[in-house]
Amino acid sequence: MPLNSVDACLLDKLKNALPASAFKDLSPAYLEEPRGRWSGRAGVLVAPDTAEDVAKIIRLASEARVAVVPYGGGTGLVGGQIASDGPLPILLSLERMNRVRAVFETENILIAEAGAILADVHEAADKVDRLYPLTIAAKGSARVGGLLATNAGGVNVLRYGNARDLCLGLEAVLPDGQIWHGLRRLRKDNMGYDLRNLLIGSEGTLGVITAASLMLHPKPAGEGTAVMAVTSPEAALQLLSMAKDHMGEGISAFELMHRMGLDFLAETMPDVKQPFAEIPEWMVLIDIGLAKGLDPATALETLFAEGFEAGLVQDGVIAQSEAQRAELWAVRETIPEANRRIGSISSHDISVPLGAIPAFIESGTAALARLGAFRINCFGHVGDGNLHYNVFPPKGQRKEDFAAQRDAVKRAVHDEVHALGGSISAEHGVGRLKVDDLERYGDPVKLSAMRALKQALDPHGIMNPGAVLRA
């Protein structure tokens, strides 16, 4: 049965069911996505304050056969929060459900609503001398619900895991308007199917996450950061292995950066202090957190010395203060903004097995060279195999001049990823951008099971239609 647009009748029912404070003006900011690829459409913007009000909205939408598009911080990069065509949906913002409900210090658990901003969760954890380790560049605007809906990753996955690994329980509203009270604090719970992990990563297509039990961690007693110039991606992997031998689980992040990213910084953001006078071809940013009695600076110095002796490392900078740590991290964290200012033809969030990273970089570069003289900025979380492999026009030319090649570029990159047993969506989700790619590269049995689950839980197809699975 086809979906309907929001109409006057549904608006009246919503206004009767919800307080006036739940309705917001549908400003352009809610209908845009960070890369400017799409513009959204909606019939009404509602921002409820409770799970019960979310449930009322979903029930009315189900009765009227009107789509619901959940909206978090709007930072998603694959169009999951944007409905650009079809009947006008309800845009459901979780921004007013932004409270930290409770902190259980001795259990290392924090309960936050879906609209809580990630930076505020970090602050709440810090007040009890704990760490919520999931962090991304958009931490000042990304919200908990969106992070869980996309199973976000970030720079600390190597040590702490993805968003899924940092969540113990959920409160959520299902497509029929029922509230699932799964906000548990248990680390062991085998009572049937794992609905929590089904909803995490479902991108709002199976329900609306309204709150979550998040896992906290003790803060490391000592932290250290270094940037080391390495001879190649292969050398980076060997250095990672060496670091694990030395520090075990003490490695929080291990980020690979190509010189193109630093060239872009120099071109667009010259005020960002760079670590090397002469930019090396490849470098890694290493962040560690160690227990009491262990000195991070000494550990990094030892790693540098052994890496240099082995011919893996050519140069390095080890932070001597928190200010220097912040400067080194600023280089890595501002690369995405530099990319945006340059303007990519096609951006790719991919993962491959760790050992296949050098082969992918080589084969991907060769495949793109056959299409044109593109600039490639390859960087990312090499510790967990996740690379951001972004393709740009030659210097002096605009991305718009290559719009006709965008699909061919993406196809070439994704073909290489697939051939190496990788994933075309590592941490950003599928959204609407990669629906075709999921059908092309996804396992047909898994896709069949996904469609069956979608039909069972959302038989009317109202939850974020067109995201992940074709509507």
Domain residue ranges in the chain: 8-95, 100-218, 222-419
Contact 46, 95 (CB under 8 A): no
Q: CA–CA separation, 218 vs 226, rounded Å?
A: 22
- Confidence at 386, pLDDT banded by 50, 70, 90: very high
Give the confidence band of 408 by pLDDT, cuts at 50, 70, 90.
very high
Cα–Cα nearest to 320, from 292, 291, 296: 296
Strand partners, 229: 283, 315
Distances (CA, A) of 466 to 29, 176, 446, 470: 21, 19, 18, 5
pLDDT, residue 140, reads 95
Q: How far, in whole angstroms, is CA 23 from its chain's centroid?
A: 28
- Give me the amino acid identity at 216: L
Sheet holding 349-351, edge to edge: 313-318, 222-230, 282-290, 251-258, 375-381, 386-392, 349-351
User: Is pLDDT above 90 for 38?
Assistant: no
Which residues pair with residue 286 across a beta bridge? 226, 254
- Does 243 have pLDDT greater than 80? yes
Amino acid at 226: A
Compute the distance between CA of residue 200 and CA of residue 207 in angstroms, rounded to an integer: 10
Q: Per the structure block, which two tokens stand in for 443?
A: 């396992």
Helix (H) or strand (E) holding 182: strand 179-182
Q: Which 3 state secondary structure label does DSSP give 349?
A: strand
Residue with tokens 């109202």: 462
Q: Distance between CA 232 and CA 283 in Å, rounded?
A: 8
Quick count: other Cβ atoms within 10 Å of Cβ 421? 10
For domain 8-95, give its CATH number from 3.30.43.10, 3.10.180.10, 3.40.50.720, 3.40.630.30: 3.30.43.10
Q: Does the pLDDT value for residue 362 go beyond 80?
A: yes
Give me the long-range contacts of 402-409 (CB less than 8 A, separation at least 24): 402/345, 402/372, 403/345, 405/345, 405/371, 405/372, 406/345, 406/346, 408/371, 409/345, 409/346, 409/368, 409/371, 409/374
In this predicted model, what pLDDT tens digit does every residue of 321-356 receive, in sequence order? 999 999 999 999 999 999 999 999 999 999 999 999
Decide if pLDDT at 1 tops 80: no
How far is residue 171's CA from residue 167's CA, in Å, rounded to a whole number? 11
Instruction: Tell me what the pLDDT averaged over the chain comes to.
Output: 96
Q: Which fold has domain 100-218?
A: 3.30.465
d(CA 2, CA 153): 35
Ordered strands of the 90-93 beta sheet: 23-24, 44-46, 90-93, 68-71
In degrees, rounded to 5, the angle at the alpha carbon of residue 353 between the alpha carbons of residues 384 and 234 is 85
What pLDDT sits at residue 33?
A: 87
What are the φ/ψ torsions at residue 193 (nearest 5 degrees)? -60, 150
Residue 268: pLDDT band (50, 70, 90) is very high
Tell me the HSE value of 324 on the side-chain side, using a 13 A CA sphere: 12
Sheet holding 167-173, edge to edge: 100-104, 109-113, 208-215, 167-173, 179-182
Contact (Cβ atoms closer than 8 angstroms) between residue 211 and residue 99: no
Provide the pLDDT for residue 443.
Answer: 96
Listed in sequence order, the DSSP H helices in 66-167 are 118-127, 144-149, 157-160
pLDDT at residue 277, as a whole number: 93
Q: Letter for the amino acid at 471?
A: A
Whole-angstrom Cα distance, residue 209 to residue 454?
16
Q: What's the start-to-end Cα distance of the chain, in Å?
A: 11
pLDDT in tens, 168-206: 999 999 999 999 999 999 999 999 999 999 999 999 999
Q: At 240, is the pLDDT very low, low, confident or very high (cuts 50, 70, 90)? A: very high
CA distances from 174 to 127, 180, 192, 426 (A): 33, 7, 17, 26
Distances (CA, A) of 254 to 193, 257, 315, 357: 34, 10, 16, 14
Q: How confident is the model at residue 35 (pLDDT cuts 50, 70, 90)?
A: confident
The pLDDT value given to residue 280: 97
Selected from 3.40.50.10490, 3.30.70.2190, 3.40.50.300, 3.80.30.20, the CATH number assigned to the domain covering 222-419 reads: 3.30.70.2190
Paired tokens of 466? 């067109």
CB-based contacts of 401, cutoff 8 Å, min separation 6: 393
pLDDT given for residue 36 in this prediction:
79
Record the pTM.
Answer: 0.93
| Separation of CA 356 from chain center | 22
Q: At what angle do helices 322-342 and 259-268 cross, to 10 degrees?
A: 80
Which tokens belong to 317? 């900078």
Strand partners, 99: none
